[in-house]
Amino acid sequence: MEENFNPMSDSIIDRIMYIAEKENITLTSLEKKIEASKGVLTRAYNKKTDIQSKWVTRIAENYPLYNAFWILTGAGELENETSVTREDQSPYFNLKKGTPLIPVNAFAGLSHGNVSIMEQDIMERYLVPDFTNVDFMIRIKGSSMYPKYNSGDVVACKMINSESFLQWNKVHVIATKEQGVLIKRIDISEKEDCIKAVSDNEKYKPFDIPKDEILNIALVTGVIRLE
């Protein structure tokens, strides 16, 4: 595999297999190491299918020598320049710098219009060169925005503190009082004091969200997607 391996053209699972070979372990052993269900990686490799981004994070956690951004994209260096501990990982995966990855409930709990993320709410930090002017990242759950986004994708978000900065027909993350956190394309509603939430998946019908139900809203500006 190493002779013809091209990280830019091969898939994420191929790059994971490459790491497994360098570590002289099987994919089955790697599954155990990252606490994945038996067959998660081997089936993906055999069938050339997607895997959830959390397994990439787990691999980077257990093998800090390897660059998490390289695993995801094939870009940059395979190995971090200095890395024996997670604090040393640089430049793409670091606990001390970069854009924070937070759970959706942490976004809902932010003070309206401001970004004041508690350190204990930060799951990881990523430094992605193409993500500029970004406040945080969250992981998508569900299929309402498919094919634009898949469940497991990580999206970069910019907090919006004024209604005048809403971008119609663009995807936003919306924290609501009643429905929790939603990821929807927004449009002008026919109802007064509402915005319309639109899914890219045709199985989900558009609906109106009263503006006084909105706790926080952020514009989605980028995505890290598994192949």
Are 110 and 122 a contacting pair, CB within 8 Å? no
- Give the end-to-end CA distance of the chain in Å, rounded to a whole number: 19
**86: Cβ contacts below 8 Å, ≥ 6 apart:** 61, 64, 93, 94, 95
- Local structure of 32: helix, strand or coil: helix
Across residues 3-10, what is the average pLDDT? 60
Q: 10 Å Cβ neighbour count for 99?
A: 21
217's tokens: 């809203």
CATH of 12-88, one of 1.10.3470, 2.60.40, 1.10.260, 1.10.10: 1.10.260
CA–CA separation, 126 and 136 (whole Å): 10
Q: Using only the alpha carbons of the chain, give its radius of gyration.
A: 19
In eight-state DSSP terms, residue 111 is P
- Local structure of 74: helix, strand or coil: coil
- Provide φ and ψ at 158, rounded to 5°: -115, 120
pLDDT tens, position by position, 126-135: 777 677 778 8
pLDDT at site 86: 38
Q: Which residue has the higher pLDDT, 139 or 3?
A: 139
pLDDT tens, position by position, 142-196: 899 999 998 888 899 988 877 878 899 999 999 998 899 999 999 999 999 999 9
Cα 74 to Cα 8, 34, 66, 118, 172, distances in angstroms? 5, 21, 12, 32, 28
CA nearest to 3, candidates 13, 18, 16:
18
pLDDT at site 200: 95
Q: 10 Å Cβ neighbour count for 204?
A: 16
CA–CA separation, 53 and 72 (whole Å): 8
- H/E segment holding residue 207: strand 207-210
pLDDT at site 97: 65
Across residues 108-122, what is the average pLDDT? 69
Are 213 and 139 a contacting pair, CB within 8 Å? no
pLDDT at site 64: 77
Mean pLDDT lowest for which of 46-60, 183-197, 205-219?
46-60
Cα 88 to Cα 63, 157, 186, distances in angstroms? 12, 26, 40
pLDDT at site 95: 40
Q: Parse the chain into domains and list their residue ranges.
A: 12-88, 99-224
Residue located via tokens 């992605």: 128
Does domain 99-224 fall into CATH 3.40.50.1100? no
- H/E segment holding residue 223: strand 214-224
Residue located via tokens 């038996």: 38
Percent of the chain having pLDDT more than 70?
84
